[in-house]
A and B are shown apart, each in its own frame.
Chain A
Amino acid sequence: MTVARETKTGTARPPFWRDVKVLRIVAQLVAGAGSVALLWYLGSNLTTNLTAQGISTDFGFLDQPAGVTVPGSDFRSSQPISDILVLGIKNTFALVIVGIPLLTILGTLIGIGRLSSNWLVRKAATAYVETLRNIPPLLVIIFTNTAVILASLPRIQEAWQPFDLFVLSNRELAVPWFTAGDGSGAYLGVLAAGVVASIAVWIWRTRQFDATGTPHHRFFWGTGVFLLFAVVGFFVIGNPYSLSRPELEGLVITGGISNISAYFAVLLALVIYTASHVAEIVRGSIQAVAKGQTEAANALALSSFQRLRFVVLPQAFRIAIPPLINQFLNFTKNSSLAIAIGYSEITLVVFQAIGNGQPAPQLIIILMGAYLLFSLSISLLINILNRRLQLVTN
């Protein structure tokens, strides 16, 4: 302190206990040291307690055999715990990746429904939102499983097979999927070229539009070019992919892509639950779009679809994005409730392992890490999107 005072002889500085600069540093040091000390204290308690009770404090248990199987996969009980954790994360991901687009679409529809000119539609949308929003998601999952999967779908012995394309039962549901044949690699290359070409065409049409003002129709041009590549490539290479239909043999579904019904129950439940929140966001955002915008659209004689599609929704979505991210994150976090009906996502897998005597603290750290990974990547992705959207307007 004295040194500081000597160097700055001109200005008389306050005593150090009132010097803001010093106080700031001290406050930060206290906060930092306090946090470190707290963590160190908890950590040392943890190791002391675990050692005293003979519980392992390392991650060696990850190599132990899991001892359980996982429905909807070919996981064997002799595989290590680390494998089952990875599988759990994959299963959570399978929920998130399919759920987020679905809930956005459903939520938007219901949000628009709440503003419909039809009184009955408005009331139905309100009833939907007010009912689902106010029930714990855990109960929504159990109800969906009982009412939709167990009560409505047939047992696998009597599975519905509409058009021989789907297999629908309360045990497993299957849809057709592609199987790679010869030359599938080459075909992927062709598709990639198609994407590049269609982007090029898109840019070209946009430039053309900017330069001459002729309608760009860039969407049709772009898709057209891509489809051209896809179709021509398909026949030139000669059936690189074939459609594999799911077939039921006894109790086993072969071909297509299938998953156990618990997956669909959780997916459906969380989509309809989260959509009730998204609907409110969409409604609020549409109402937040200045009324003059709608009136301007009307003055231009846009149809009600055009008004929504080109004027209201694009602006509303920009307002809606931050709260929407929150709902996506909530969806991801709520997927942990699948534990109630036995879909082996990461939480259930960890819970099983704890039940089978593996050390809880380490497993919970892994579990939290997995969710942080999900949350941070979603925030990151959508922040990038958000920035892009905002740049377009400026």
Chain B
Amino acid sequence: MIKRLLLLVVVLAMVATACGGDGAEEESTTTTAADGGSQVAAEGILKTVQDRGVLNCGVNQEVFGFGFVDADGNFVGFDIDYCKAVAAAVLGDADAVEYKALTAQQRFTALQSGEIDVLIRNTTWTATRDGGEGATFLTTTFYDGQGMMVNSDSGYTTLEDMANTTVCVQSGTTTELNLAARFESGGIPFTALTFDSNDELRPAFVAGQCDGWTSDKSQLAAFRSQNPPADGGPEAWTILDETFSKEPLGPLVRDGDSQWAQVVDWVVYATIQAEEFGLDSGNINSYSGDNAEIKRFLGQPNEEGTIFDPGLGLPTDFAVMVIDAVGNYEEIYNRNVGPDTALGLARGVNDLWTRGGLLYAPPYR
């Protein structure tokens, strides 16, 4: 009996050490969580992150192109690169990121409770979420839209054709809400079949359990391009032209810490601005031109030898570190979702404003 009790004590002690080990890094986070709303100036998230030396980034682990895990256990994707960019700017080390994979249902609570510093998990910016979830949406990194994929031989060309059909959708997303809104406002009777993950959804669509598969168009494109010949190949499926919702995807931070919000915002702007300047990971370290704007952007001294500091709380050369680590927007885009990847997405609206896209960074001065 005493033996058993002793064993128990030992085990409990073990668990206590484990909790203690975890707690050490979390304590600091939660202090900010508790008073983040009221007394930001005292100790902001930026300071916390810098003291901790690690950025806690909330991500997805199963959306190809945006956030997924490779066979070696590394997170990879468009969103992941932005986690790295923030870490590079704030900590000077793109690898100082602790990724927290979150389900659609968990992401907002994780952000509110301070479990993560920033959420970059293909999350759509909506008014309710901005207002009600205790979160602030920042600059959109990817403009997506919801689409509908159908079997090519079904003959559907518009959503109006799809009366009385069944549509497969992933649960816990805005997609689900948009679907109901679009079909009901169009007076189209339909049934929505919800699934917890695409692994269960895909076979249902292949077997014809549903007539349509609705999701962000980028996702649909990925699944379409990867459809194996056994199931008819990419040609067997068609993505309808209509985009029936706006899906601006971008990073989120907790409400009430504007300094931290600015930091993340300007990291995103830096990647866009770099593309506009024609700077990429290959040439940014060797820039020796005398464009005053670029020199300001890179934190290089001007003729008088002074270095421009906008007071964001970031190092003056943060842009160099960001671009050096992950590249400019174009590089991030092409590496993860661009034409040469399985997603094969053209830039479309996700192009610089100078080329008719929506990406526009405020002046860095």
Contact = CB atoms under 8 A, between A and B. Distances in A.
Nearest to B180: A77
Nearest to A77: B180
Interface residues of A, number: 42
B194 A145 contact: no
Nearest to B109: A360
B194 A342 contact: yes
B184 A77 contact: yes
Contacts of A72: 191
B207 A151 contact: yes
B245 to A, nearest CB: 13
B176 A340 contact: no
Given A171-B166, A341-B195, A355 B203 contact: no
Interface in B144-164: 164
A67 interface: yes
A262 interface: yes
Interface string A52-73: 1111000000000001110110
A360 B180 CA distance: 23
Nearest to B208: A155
Contacts of A145: 200
Interface stretch (A305-313, A326-334, A344-352): A344-352
Nearest to B174: A356
A321 interface: no
Q: Which of B128, B134, B171 has the most CB of A within 10 A?
A: B171
A250 B104 CA distance: 35
A243 to B, nearest CB: 25
Given A53-B134, A348-B171, A76 B184 contact: yes
Q: Which of A146, A150, A339 has the most CB of B within 10 A?
A: A150
B173 interface: yes
A171 B194 CA distance: 13
Contacts of B181: 67, 77
Given A340-B200, A352-B194, A157 B171 contact: no
Contact of A71 (B37, B184, B193): B193
Given A150-B209, A155-B207, A341-B200, A67 B165 contact: no
A355 B209 contact: no
A170 interface: yes
A53 B166 CA distance: 38
A357 interface: yes
A251 interface: yes
B192 interface: yes
B200 A142 contact: yes
Contact of B210 (A146, A157, A171): A171
B129 interface: yes
A188 interface: no
Q: Which of B109, B134, B203, B209 has the most CB of A within 10 A?
A: B209
A54 B113 CA distance: 12
B167 to A, nearest CB: 10
B341 to A, nearest CB: 28
Nearest to A54: B134
Q: Which of A54, A170, A339, A355 has the most CB of B within 10 A?
A: A355
B211 to A, nearest CB: 7
Contacts of B132: 54, 357
A352 B259 CA distance: 34
B95 to A, nearest CB: 31
B287 to A, nearest CB: 45
B192 A67 contact: no
B171 A355 contact: yes
Nearest to B173: A355
Q: Which of B37, B128, B177, B204 has the most CB of A within 10 A?
A: B204
A92 interface: no
B108 interface: yes
Nearest to A71: B191
A342 B166 CA distance: 13
Interface string B189-221: 011111110001001101111110000000000
Given A67-B177, A68-B192, A155 B209 contact: yes
A76 B188 CA distance: 12
Interface in B109-147: 109, 112-113, 128-129, 132-134
B171 A352 contact: yes
Contacts of B165: 251
B288 interface: no
B112 A356 contact: no
Contacts of A67: 176-177, 180-181
B194 A356 contact: no
Nearest to B192: A69
B172 interface: yes
Contact of B105 (A55, A252, A355): A355
Contacts of B108: 357
A69 B112 contact: no
A340 B132 CA distance: 28
Contacts of B191: 69, 71-72, 260
A340 B194 contact: no
A107 B304 CA distance: 88
A109 interface: no
A48 B204 CA distance: 44
A261 interface: yes
Contact of A171 (B34, B190, B209): B209
Contact of A342 (B184, B195, B207): B195
A251 B211 contact: yes
A76 B37 CA distance: 38
Interface string A127-154: 0000000000000001001100111000
A151 B171 CA distance: 23
Contact of B128 (A54, A156, A357): A357
Nearest to A151: B207
B207 A150 contact: yes
Interface string A243-261: 0000000111000000011
Contacts of A171: 166, 208-210
A262 B193 contact: yes
A348 B190 CA distance: 20
Contacts of A76: 184
Given A77-B177, A351-B172, A355-B171, 9 more contacts: A68-B176, A71-B191, A146-B203, A260-B191, A342-B171, A342-B195, A344-B194, A352-B172, A356-B176
20 contacts: A53-B113, A67-B176, A67-B177, A67-B181, A69-B191, A71-B191, A72-B191, A150-B207, A156-B208, A171-B210, A250-B164, A251-B165, A342-B193, A348-B194, A352-B172, A352-B176, A355-B171, A357-B108, A357-B129, A360-B109
Across the A-B interface, the 3 shortest Cβ-Cβ residue pairs: A355-B172, A155-B208, A77-B180
